[in-house]
Amino acid sequence: TIAIDFDDANNFKLLTTSGIGETRVLGTPSNITAGQSGCIVITSDAADRALTYTSDWHFEGGTDPELTTDSGGVDTLVYYCPTDAIVQAVLLKDLK
C-alpha cells in the first residue's frame, strides 16, 4: 500500500516498480484538508502494472480508472478534496 501524506505536498510522483507486485494500492492519504488539490504523476516501469484505490478515492461513475499499460507510460491523477475525508479524482491517461 502506498501511503501519501498530504501535509508533505500537493503534487507527487509515483513509479510503479517490479519486486513489489503487479498491483499496488493507493491508500487513504493522511492529513486530508478540505479544499486541497493537486496531482500524482504515475510512471510505469513495465507493462501491465495496476493501481487500486481505497474507498476514500472517488472517481467518475464510481469506477476505479486503469493505468496506461505501456512500459514507461505516464498518467496523472488529478485530485480535489471537498472534505477532510473524501478525495475526488480523475486520471489523465497516456500523457506524451
* Residue 72, SS3 per DSSP: coil
Residues 6 or more apart in contact with residue 52 via CB below 8 angstroms: 23, 24, 25, 26, 64
CA–CA separation, 37 vs 32, rounded Å?
A: 10
pLDDT (0 to 100) of residue 23:
80
pLDDT (0 to 100) of residue 17:
66
Span 34-65, pLDDT tens digits: 999 999 999 887 767 788 999 999 999 999 99
Average pLDDT along the chain? 90
pLDDT (0 to 100) of residue 20:
47
First to last CA, the chain: 27
Residue whose C-alpha cell reads 461513475 in the numeric block: 61
Q: Average pLDDT in the 71-96 region? A: 95
CA–CA separation, 36 vs 19, rounded Å?
A: 32
**Residue 86: is its pLDDT beyond 80?**
yes
With beta carbons less than 8 A apart as the criterion, state whether 41 and 35 touch.
Answer: no
